[in-house]
């Protein structure tokens, strides 16, 4: 992170440590992070406090948190430059979330579609944390005077409420928070399910529908063998009429770096066998360095913990600046 005179725009992203990272996350958002790191001061957060809003097995949560942190680093992000850290290691997140709760209305939170959706799916556990999830997310973002937040469609509403809260506080007390903008990536591959290619690839669907980035080569081979195609027997990019084949092309293009049009020309008149084979091998090849680096990191917990500790301290120092400014402005007695 740079000092004030050379301030680069700040980018914030959080991923929940719930379940496995798959090609859809990796080929899209995570690959893009590598490019963004060149132009932005980035924070990549493992949002473990958010994960508490649904029930977890403690050992799983702990392991998945560690794994996600290692994956961020293994993907090539530089933890000396970008701040890669765990949310619960920086207490300012929970502190700011409390204050923001006092500037957020029940009505606003009740309108959040993710809350409505999650509370209807987990009827036995509609907890207050699920309800105030967006204020914790707003705290994540606002603590660091964030300029941009890469968001998919499902998180747009949460960024909107973050902006509303920031503007509300600013209107009351003068400039406290930078009001963040959504970052819409220019070109990200949209990776669909292998078994139902009309739907986005999702870790909550059946195992064969997604390729986890840590899947072993033989698992990846099996999954692509079972991937849905069609009976038109022509390699064409036509997501509407040939969603399965188009998805394979998109995956091959994203992992090999070759444009879809070139690929289609290369495979004109050939069957789907070759498309599947090339896609499989491109994915395995692409994931190889990531998996190797990941394995290396997981064997070196001392290094990994050092990185996380160091980065939590860097985050905390930045967060405290915002928190102090806010506390002063809203009338909390300062020592
Ligand atoms: N709510 C986000 C999701 O489920 C995760 C998240 C938490 C986040 N805090 C964030 C994303 C801050 C961006 C910025 O995907």
For the chain, residues classed under CATH 3.40.50.620 are 4-188+301-330
Ligand 1 atom nearest 137 alpha carbon: 9
| pLDDT means over runs of 10, the chain (335 residues) | 73 92 86 92 98 94 95 96 98 98 98 94 93 98 97 92 98 98 80 94 89 96 96 94 96 93 94 96 96 96 97 98 98 95
- Yes or no: is domain 4-188+301-330 CATH 3.40.50.620? yes
- Whole-model pTM: value is 0.91
Which CATH topology does 207-295 take?
A: Tyrosyl-Transfer RNA Synthetase (1.10.240)
Q: Whose CA is nearest to atom 6 of ligand 1?
A: 14
Ligand 1: does its nearest atom lie under 6 Å from the Cβ of 155? yes
Quote the ligand 1 centre to 137 CA distance (angstroms).
6
State the Cα–Cα distance between residues 315 and 312, nearest whole angstrom. 5
Residues assigned a catalytic role = 118, 200, 203
38-76, pLDDT tens digit by residue?
999 999 999 999 999 999 999 999 999 999 999 999 999
For helices 133-142 and 156-173, give the axis angle rounded to 10 degrees.
70
> How far does the centroid of ligand 1 lie from the alpha carbon of residue 8, in Å?
22
Longest CA–CA separation in the chain, Å: 76
Per-residue pLDDT tens for 239-252? 999 999 999 999 99
Q: Cβ contacts of residue 128 below 8 Å, gap of 6+?
A: none
All CATH 1.10.240.10 domain ranges in the chain, comma separated: 207-295
Full 3-state SS string of 158-192: HHHHHHHHHHHHHHHHCCCCCCCEEECCCCCCCCE
Report the alpha-carbon distance of residue 299 to residue 237 in Å, rounded: 42
Distance 3 CA to ligand 1 centre (A): 26
């Amino acid at each position: 992170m740079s000092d004030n005179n050379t301030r680069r725009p700040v980018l914030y992203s959080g991923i929940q440590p719930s379940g496995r990272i798959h090609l859809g996350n990796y080929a899209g958002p995570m690959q893009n992070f590598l490019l963004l790191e060149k132009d932005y001061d980035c924070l990549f957060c493992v949002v473990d406090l958010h994960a508490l809003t649904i029930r977890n097995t403690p050992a799983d949560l702990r392991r998945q948190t560690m794994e996600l942190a290692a994956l961020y680093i293994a993907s090539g992000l530089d933890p000396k430059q970008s701040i890669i850290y765990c949310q619960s290691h920086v207490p300012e997140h929970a502190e700011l979330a409390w204050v923001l709760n006092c500037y957020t209305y029940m009505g606003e939170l009740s309108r959040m579609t993710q809350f409505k959706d999650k509370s209807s799916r987990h009827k036995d556990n509609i907890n207050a944390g699920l309800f105030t999830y967006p204020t914790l997310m707003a705290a994540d973002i606002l603590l660091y005077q964030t300029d941009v937040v890469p968001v998919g469609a499902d998180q747009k509403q949460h960024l909107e409420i973050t902006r509303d809260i920031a503007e509300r506080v600013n209107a009351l007390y003068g400039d406290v928070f930078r009001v963040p903008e959504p970052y819409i990536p220019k070109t990200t591959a949209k990776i669909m399910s292998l078994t139902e290619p009309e739907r986005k690839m999702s870790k909550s669907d059946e195992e064969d529908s997604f390729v986890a980035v840590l899947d072993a080569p033989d698992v990846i081979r099996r999954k692509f063998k079972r991937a849905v195609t069609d009976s038109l027997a022509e390699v064409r990019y036509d997501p509407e009429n040939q969603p399965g084949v188009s998805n394979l092309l998109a995956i091959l293009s994203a992992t090999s770096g070759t444009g879809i049009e070139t690929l289609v020309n290369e495979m004109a008149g050939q069957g789907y066998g070759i498309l599947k084979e090339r896609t499989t091998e491109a994915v395995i090849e692409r994931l190889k360095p990531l998996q190797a680096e990941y394995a290396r990191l997981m064997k070196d917990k001392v290094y990994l913990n050092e990185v996380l500790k160091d980065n939590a301290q860097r985050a905390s120092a930045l967060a405290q600046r915002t928190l102090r400014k806010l506390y002063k402005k809203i009338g909390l007695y300062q020592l």
